[in-house]
């Protein structure tokens, strides 16, 4: 679809121009009608004022030259008067055309009210007149006052031209204001645009602050928050790379040194088999580190995709985890409760969560490790508890940060991955120190429609 790319200046100019055009169109349509109506009311008000004040023009009280009289009355603002007796005979009055006079008599004859307003067209002009019933010594009659539209039309044209002049001046002033407004609004945007270009070149050390209008101050504050977030993100990325390099450096050095020793005929562990076992062990550890690093770094992009939510039976999942890890610590008794609880989760991600928590718990457990699940108040609660030593309160939240390890920790990524997965499920995880050990408590919504996640609801899962 074709779209015009207009600058802010053009948009403001065209907006003002369209507004001026719209106002002019409304004035051209509405103003003549309104001014004519107002002047008509003013004409009748003037005629009635003359009647109330008993105003009369001296001069010829006969019909005279009707044409000259009409032209004479159209040349100035003047009110003519006629007095008619009960026999419709003219008592006195200003000159008026006979055809108009006859129409006035017809209107007076059929008038039921004391006073009436009328208009009549005559040779392209409009005559306004008011007929009022009177009672004098000769009996009932009518007092007719009239005025031509010469003055209202002259006044209307004069006001119309003045209005056009004012409209043109206002239009010019509006365009000047539009030009100033465009420059005023564009300046901070230009400055902000240059700062964005600097950030695009990864030059984000210089702070940005705009003093002035509240809206631009708020925009500059948001930009500054974004800049600080980018700095923090860049710093976190650098720290992450340093820590990841450090975590991989140790097993690589061990493998390299042992391999070189074996090549030279030296066996650090006494025999070649024992020495090769060390190399294999460190290789496996390095593989685990790399796998967790890949999962951790890919998770941000993966969680933006739709999660495959399925109904998972907790007992089936927990038993699978139990069978996988029971050989690592045969001396630890792994107990499962709440097997019938069904939870909605991404099966693969929830398996990663339980694997990391169970693996972590086995390193600290003395004799027992528990996996439990329950549902209450629309939430599913999963608890992984071991009977190991309590965790200092100052270290609880830090354990969920990347590369933060406990005393027996290995890589420092397991709990960080767990927290990210639970957050993606719109849940929470916390660490509680108990009298007989430490519990990792997970709470996620019971049903998928209780989440803000737009994940796909699966029908499968482990039943």
Q: What is the DSSP string of 52-113?
A: HTT----S--S---HHHHHHHHHTS---EEEEE-TTS-EEEE----HHHHHHHHHHHHT--S
Higher pLDDT, 161 or 10: 161
pTM for this predicted structure: 0.47
Q: Tell me the mean pLDDT in the region 315-320.
A: 91
What are the tokens at 53? 């004040």
**Is a pLDDT exceeding 50 seen at residue 271?**
yes
**Is a pLDDT exceeding 70 seen at residue 304?**
no
For 308, the enclosing helix (H) or strand (E) is strand 308-313
**Strands 90-93 and 368-376, bridge-based pairing:** unpaired
Q: How many residues does the chain have?
A: 463
What is the signed CA dihedral for 265, 268, 272, 274, rounded to 10 degrees?
Answer: -170
What are the tokens at 404? 């933060």
**Is a pLDDT exceeding 80 seen at residue 397?**
no
**Is a pLDDT exceeding 90 seen at residue 374?**
yes
Contact 148, 126 (CB under 8 A): yes
Phi, psi of 375 (to 5 degrees): -125, 135
Residue 418's contacts (CB-CB under 8 Å, 6 or more residues apart) are 352, 353, 356, 357, 400, 429
Cα radius of gyration rounded to whole Å, the chain: 48
Higher pLDDT, 200 or 106: 106
For 459, the enclosing helix (H) or strand (E) is none
Q: pLDDT value at position 399?
A: 79
What are the tokens at 25? 């169109």
Q: pLDDT value at position 384?
A: 92
Q: pLDDT value at position 306?
A: 61
Assign 209 to helix, strand or coil: coil
What are the tokens at 395? 């270290």
Can you list the domains of the chain with their CATH numbers?
11-156 (3.30.450), 214-296 (1.10.287.130), 306-457 (3.30.565.10)
Query: What is the 8-class DSSP label of residue 306?
Result: P
Q: Tell me the mean pLDDT in the region 440-454.
A: 69
DSSP line for 387-456: -SPPPPGGGTGGGGSTT---TT-SSS-HHHHHHHHHHHTT-EEEEEEETTEEEEEEEEESSGGGSS---E
Q: Tell me the mean pLDDT in the region 213-240.
A: 75
Buried b (16+ CB within 10 A) or exposed e, 186-222: eebeeebeebeeebeeeebeeebebeeeeebeebbee
Question: What count of Cα atoms within 13 Å lies in the side-chain half-sphere of residue 94?
Answer: 23
Q: pLDDT value at position 140?
A: 75
In this predicted model, what pLDDT tens digit does every residue of 140-152 receive, in sequence order? Answer: 788 888 888 777 7
In this predicted model, what pLDDT tens digit does every residue of 409-441 receive, in sequence order? Answer: 555 677 888 888 888 888 999 988 988 889 999
């Amino acid at each position: 679809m074709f779209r015009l790319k207009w600058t802010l200046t053009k948009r403001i100019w065209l907006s003002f121009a369209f507004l001026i055009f719209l106002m002019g169109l409304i004035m051209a349509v509405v103003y003549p009608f309104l001014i004519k109506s107002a002047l008509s009311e003013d004409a009748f008000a003037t005629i009635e004022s003359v009647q109330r004040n008993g105003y009369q023009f001296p001069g010829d009280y006969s019909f005279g030259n009707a044409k000259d009289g009409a032209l004479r009355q159209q040349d100035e603002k003047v009110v003519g008067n006629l007095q008619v007796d009960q026999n419709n005979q003219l008592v006195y009055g200003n000159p008026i055309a006979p055809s108009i006079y006859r129409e006035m008599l017809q209107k007076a004859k059929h008038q039921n009210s004391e006073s009436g307003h009328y208009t009549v067209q005559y040779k392209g002009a409009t005559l306004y007149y008011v007929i009022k019933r009177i009672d004098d010594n000769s009996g009932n009659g009518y007092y007719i006052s009239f005025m031509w539209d010469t003055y209202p039309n002259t006044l209307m044209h004069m006001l119309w031209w003045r209005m056009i002049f004012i409209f043109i001046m206002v239009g010019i002033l509006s365009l000047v204001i539009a030009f100033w407004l465009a420059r005023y609004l564009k300046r901070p945007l230009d400055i902000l645009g240059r700062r964005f270009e600097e950030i695009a070149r990864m030059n984000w050390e210089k702070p940005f602050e705009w003093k002035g209008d509240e809206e631009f101050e708020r925009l500059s504050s948001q930009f500054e928050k974004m800049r600080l977030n980018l700095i923090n993100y860049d710093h976190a990325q650098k720290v992450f790379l340093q820590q990841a390099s450090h975590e991989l450096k140790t097993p690589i050095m061990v493998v390299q040194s042992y391999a070189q020793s074996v090549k030279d005929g030296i066996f650090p562990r006494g025999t070649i088999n024992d020495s090769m076992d060390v190399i294999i062990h460190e290789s496996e550890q390095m593989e685990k580190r790399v796998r967790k690093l890949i999962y951790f770094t890919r998770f941000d992009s993966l969680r933006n995709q739709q999660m495959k939510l399925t109904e998972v039976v907790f007992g089936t999942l927990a038993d699978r985890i139990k069978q996988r890890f029971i050989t690592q610590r045969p001396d630890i008794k792994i107990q499962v409760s709440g097997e019938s609880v069904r939870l909605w989760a991404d099966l693969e991600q929830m398996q990663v969560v339980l694997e990391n928590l169970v693996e972590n718990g086995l390193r600290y457990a003395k004799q027992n490790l528990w996996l439990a699940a329950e549902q209450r108040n629309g939430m599913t609660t999963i608890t992984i508890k071991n009977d190991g030593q309590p965790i200092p309160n100052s270290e609880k939240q830090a354990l969920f940060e990347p590369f933060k390890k406990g005393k027996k920790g290995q890589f420092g990524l397991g709990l960080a991955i767990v927290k990210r997965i639970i957050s993606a499920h719109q849940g929470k995880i916390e660490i509680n120190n108990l009298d007989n050990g430490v519990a990792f408590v997970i709470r996620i919504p019971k049903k998928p429609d209780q989440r803000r996640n737009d994940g796909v609801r699966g029908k499968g899962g482990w039943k």
